[in-house]
Amino acid sequence: MKVPMDVGQVVISTAGHDKGRTFVIVGQADDSAVLIADGRTRTMDRPKKKKIRHLRAGSGSIDWVRERILSRVSIYDHEIRKHLEPFQMPHKEG
């Protein structure tokens, strides 16, 4: 069963240059794509459009992101970085 992708959902990229990186969904682009941000390379003023099939649902969601986007309250990149830290996958070296 496919997990629905919604605003505030933590996701992991499974394809592309950002493969393995953790993001949060900040918008719906169309039926097959969403807008994602991580507060570093993909900021709130330049979210990445990514196809849903190239994303895997992470281990949770950030509820306040959804609430603030729906109520049109500003979200700052440093807030996204701070709240994504617990969801980050450890990087393998070597």
**Domain with 81 in it: what CATH number?**
2.30.30
* Band (94; pLDDT cuts 50, 70, 90): very low
Q: pLDDT for 27-46, tens place per residue?
A: 999 889 999 999 999 999 99
Label residue 80 exposed, middle or buried (CB < 10 Å: 0-12, 13-18, 19+): buried
**Predicted pLDDT of residue 4:** 64
Quick one: what percent of the chain has pLDDT higher than 70?
89
Q: Is residue 19 part of a domain?
A: yes
CB atoms within 10 A of CB 77: 15
Q: Which of 1, 39, 53, 41 is nearest to 17 (CA)?
A: 41
What is the span of the domain harbouring residue 33?
A: 9-86
Q: Is residue 22 part of a domain?
A: yes
Q: Which of 66, 59, 46 is nearest to 85 (CA)?
A: 59
**Predicted pLDDT of residue 47:** 95
Q: Is residue 1 part of a domain?
A: no
Q: How far apart are CA 39 and CA 78, in angstroms?
A: 6
**Predicted pLDDT of residue 1:** 37
Number of domains making up the chain? 1
